[in-house]
Amino acid sequence: MKRRLKTLKIRINVIIRREFTEQDRTKQGSTASAQTCARATIGIDLPTVDDFSKIEQLSPVALAYIGDAVYELYIRTYYLMPPMRVADYHNRVVAQVRAETQAVYVEMLQPHFTASEKEILRRGRNAAGGKPRRLSGKIYQQATSLETLIGYLYLTDPQRLYELLTKLELK
């Protein structure tokens, strides 16, 4: 069980922060790059520095698409302990990834955003097209803007993403 948790911790470290500390690399028995460790651990190639110039060309909707996945993975990982029934995991996660909750988090994090992050939020808010029937347009726009920012930070500044995510007051 401890080994499985350790492996999960390394995988989440790669996904959320996309880097290994020197200690983690030593534990894996090599001094491979984060790219090599990521490929070995989760089976994907992470963007290289050359790819980051292309990130600015991505649409806010594309950033929101990846941001949604990263945010849900973070929330699922957060609620992983203590062990419980799958239905209980699901209920907790769904409560946090709902657009209404994301809109509250945007307002809560507002004082912590930099000017460039506020610009990304604006782009994401403006890109939110159609809305589900059960939501107001404003809530949907705020949720989309948060997902856009998460996607952007995941690709450009994982450390800052982690810093913002840890400021969330998860219940």
Identify the active-site residue in 50, 68, 88, 157: 68
CB 65 within 8 A of CB 151: yes
Q: Is the dihedral of CA 95, 145, 149, 62 positive or negative?
A: positive
Angle between helices 60-78 and 2-17 (to 10 degrees): 160
How far apart CA 141 and CA 131 sit, in angstroms, is 8
Catalytic residue list contains 24: no
Range list of β-strands (E), 30-149: none
**Catalytic center residues:** 68
